[in-house]
Amino acid sequence: MALTLDLTVQCAQMLLVLLLAPLFTGFARKVKARLLRRQGPSPIQPYRDLARLMRKDVVLAENASWLFRVIPYLIFAATWVAASLVPTFRTGLLFSWSADLIAIIALLGSGRFFLALAGLDVGTSFGGIGSSREVMIASLAEPAMIMIVFTLALIAGSTQLSTMAEFMASPEVGLRVSLGLALIALIMVAIAENARIPVDNPATHLELTMVHEAMVLEYSGRHLALIELSASLKLILYVSVIACLFAPWGLAPAGAGVEALAIGVTTYILKLAVGGFLLTLFETSIAKMRVFRVPEFLGVALMLGLLATLLRFVSGSF
């Protein structure tokens, strides 16, 4: 009985992130438009876009390989598996012990590896520009993320996200300098990894300002739909990680009843709304950086993460 409930909750989690991801992207676009005094598209427009793309033919370049066709499914699989393991409304998911936070980051890393390969597959210069910039950004964002994971793991005593979230919700956590540094670094890394302003512009149509959009330039139809869905899933994954670690109030503990789960879902949706609003506010108030300012931006995140880890190594009270 408890097993079926756990299994239902895990499946519900998987479907929830999948269904909410386009809505979150649409909500962020709507808020950005309103902040810029435009009407903006409806928040459910991404659903319509995905449905439209799914119905269309795929137009493949003549020299695209089998890898180019398989990569959207690989990226979607890796991102969806990673997103299913993040506690959004309840900790202690049925399979949360199979991959800890390091494994989740590495799964997102596999998605990025294959996306960069897809950029190089057709042999155009735009794909090359996207892939080379993406791996430069990743080479700094990933170590920063690992240092953040180290800091949080040293505070919480585990690398499992569920255990970390439960620890952060408990009264033992206290206000720590290293947690503050880790939060700032995590926000910077999340912005870089999800190709948001100031690192990359998700709405650009200028090729030389693209990183993510340049890699997927040759994709069309259902492949493009899957890649856009994976990008939305990645964004909602990062917002959920920040929410469950730094705003864990309302998370239902493992084995909770239906009312706790309902409260968990409602607080999660509220957290997403607040997170989307804050993200869009930040994006609207800052300009996109030149490409070679991004390493300095991420270097700051890496140094903050390193400093936070160092503080944890040096003393247990930081």
Three-state SS at 252: strand
Kindly determine how many residues on this chain lie close enough to bind another protein according to the rule CB under 8 A: 87
Whose structure tokens read 């449905």? 51
Quick one: 274 or 296, whose CB is closer to another protein? 296
Quote the least distance from Cβ 145 to another protein, whole Å.
Answer: 8
Cα-Cα end-to-end distance for the chain: 43
**What are 252's strand-pairing partners?**
90
- From the CB of 116, what's the least distance to another protein, in Å? 4
Integer Cα distance of 59 and 292 in angstroms: 34
The yes or no reply on residue 121 touching another protein (CB under 8 A) is yes
Q: Which is nearer to another protein, 121 or 283 (CB)?
A: 121
The only residue of 5, 33, 136, 269 in contact with another protein, by rule CB under 8 A: 136
State which of residues 36, 48, 123, 293 lies at the interface with another protein (CB under 8 A): 123
Q: Kindly identify the residues of this chain, within the stretch 165-184, that bind another protein according to CB under 8 A.
A: none
Q: Taking the C-alpha atoms of 75, 80, 86 and 90 in order, what is their torsion angle to the nearest 10 degrees?
A: 180
Residue type, 217: L
Q: Which of 126, 89, 64 is nearest to 10 (CA)?
A: 89
Structure tokens at 70: 């398989």
We find the least distance from the C-beta atom of residue 111 to another protein, in angstroms, to be 9
Q: Is 236 in the site for another protein (CB under 8 A)?
A: no
- Compute the residue count for the chain: 318
Which residues, in sequence order, are CB contacts of 248 under 8 Å at separation 6+?
Answer: 165, 166, 168, 169
Residues 60-79 that bind another protein (CB under 8 A): 60-67, 73-74, 76-78
Q: Does 124 bind another protein (CB under 8 A)?
A: yes
Closer to another protein by Cβ: residue 87 or 127: 127
Structure tokens belonging to residue 275: 């997170």
CB 223 within 8 A of CB 72: yes
The site string for another protein over 259-298 (x = CB under 8 A, - otherwise) reads --------------------------------xx--x---
Report if residue 213 touches another protein, rule: CB under 8 A: no
Q: Is 218 in the site for another protein (CB under 8 A)?
A: yes
Distance CA 314, CA 225 (A): 47
Q: Which of 12, 33, 35, 103 binds another protein (CB under 8 A)?
A: 103
C-beta of 24 vs 297, nearer to another protein = 297
Radius of gyration of the chain from its Cα atoms, rounded to whole angstroms: 19
Binding mask 139-158 for another protein (x = CB under 8 A): xxxxx--xx--x--xx--xx
